[in-house]
Chains A and B, each alone.
Chain A
Amino acid sequence: MVTVTDSTQRRTPKAAKTNSVFKKAVMAISGIILVLYLIAHMIGNLKAFAGAEDFNHYSHWLRTIGNPALPGATALWLIRIVLLVAVVAHIWAAVSLWRQARRARPERYVTKKAVAQSYASRTMRWGGVIILAFVIFHILDLTLGAVNSAGSDGEPYDRLLASFQNPVVTIFYAVAVILVGMHLRHGIWSATQTLGQSNRRRELTVNYTATAIATVLTVGFLLTPFAVLFGLID
């Protein structure tokens, strides 16, 4: 089966500190947390169609969940902490596996033809980097208002309008959301596979479900900014 022709060099390979499949499981579970958050976030965004009052009321509710049992914005901060941990874990696993992959093939092929990989799976890494850059901008823009002076934390409707009435912001947002959609298209399938829940019989269903969730989220997230841009919401 395998060569025993020469024994010039038995490398002592750098031992991987953490099991690569464990890293993938961390990636999968943190990814699932983020997808669940995205679903809730998208539903929240769509409240913009219900008008300023409903939208701001929703925002106010987020800051008072569990009151008075939980003081102030405790619940919101708990959600933010969980998300932050998930994002850090997701990035740690991704960077670590990315570096492992680079070490695993130091010399590239002169000619390499992809047969099975999808555009989504090919853009997971750089797509992820762009999504991260977007998320940082997005928080500065709409959460902190650092690059957006309109509205306030408690009354974000005006902030939403100010942001998306600017076509540049809307286009950046759209590109990022489409990248998120593709990221999820491969990510949901990959997470199912990583957590050992896929098999030949389920493979097609898993892939269709991944496409469906990715499409619904992409469309759902794009509706609000474009409605603002085209003046359907004001």
Chain B
Amino acid sequence: MTITDQGPHSAPAGTQEKRGMNLTLRVWRQKGPQVKGKMVTYKVTDISPDMSFLEMLDVLNEQLIEQGDDPVAFDHDCREGICGMCGLMINGQAHGPQQTTTCQLHMRSFKDGDSIDIEPWRASAFPVIKDLAVDRRAFDRIIQAGGYISVPTGTAPEAHSVPVPKKDADNAFDAATCIGCGACVAACPNASSMLFTAAKVTHLGLLPQGQPERNDRVVNMVAQQDREGFGGCTNIGECSAACPKGISMETISRLNHDLLGALRAGARPKS
């Protein structure tokens, strides 16, 4: 066997270095929570298709800083698709045209000359802090209302002592992949947080450890999401189609089932 000296990175001879893309961005600019915002048009040039969407915005911000302008505020953290921090409405779709997080969306999803509209998540429960950054603490408060299990710490039991059927474990894990990014709310025509809450209710409700608080959990979490000013679910399915983790509509049915059962059993939300 002969080994030929053709590394994977050796460029074919004669190809010219490809120029990057030139794009027109229409970005929502809003100075603060109480100020009215508007779309502002910017041009970015020579964008590599290998850049992530956030790296493209970094390029825009460097450009703005050089010009002495205020850079565009947007949320981001791990840039690995697992923290739930980033999230933009890109051309009218939560996280853009691919079903993934904004940080994992790459510029190869766009063409040279494209115009891209970038907006924040829009929901009264997610007020804009600045530009594209929104306050998603409403989700934290929904979690505080019941998205936990009460266990004593310090005496972790042997994991195998409580058997969990494989199917339940799989479904609970699928629901637990929710990163709380808020794309479901952003995509929902009713600005409902149902998919988020349903993912948490499913995740804990399928496991033995979640049983003691199961009724109170669902009742309190739903009451809190209503209190936060999210809309009601009309089972349209935009949430699940936008969810970077592919949380299914089944979780919503499960939440409804648990909620109606809990109300029948007399569970009432804490006021």
Contacts and interface: CB of A to CB of B under 8 A. Distances in A.
A222 to B, nearest CB: 27
Interface string A92-107: 0000010011011111
A115 B187 contact: yes
Q: Is the interface of A mostly helix, strand, loop or mixed?
A: loop
B231 interface: yes
Size range of the interface on B? 35 or more
B232 interface: yes
A100 B256 contact: no
Contacts of B228: 13
Given A109-B89, A200-B248, A115 B136 contact: no
A199 B168 CA distance: 13
Interface stretch (B102-110, B122-130, B152-160): B122-130
Contacts of B257: 195-197
A78 interface: no
Given A2-B84, A110-B39, A117-B236, A104 B190 contact: yes
A196 B133 contact: no
A4 B230 CA distance: 20
B54 interface: no
Interface in A1-53: 1-6, 8-9, 11, 13-16, 19-25
Q: Which of A1, A6, A16, A198 has the most CB of B within 10 A?
A: A1
A73 to B, nearest CB: 36
Interface residues of A, number: 55
A95 B214 CA distance: 30
Given A97-B231, A195-B256, A13 B28 contact: no
Interface stretch (A57-65, A157-165, A175-183, A186-194): A186-194
Interface in A54-97: 97
B220 to A, nearest CB: 11
B71 interface: no
8 contacts: A5-B135, A13-B125, A13-B228, A19-B226, A19-B263, A19-B269, A101-B231, A186-B235
Interface of B: 26, 28, 32-34, 39, 75, 83-85, 89, 91-93, 117, 119, 122-125, 127, 129, 133-137, 139-140, 179-180, 187, 189-192, 219, 222-223, 225-238, 240-242, 248-250, 252-261, 263, 269
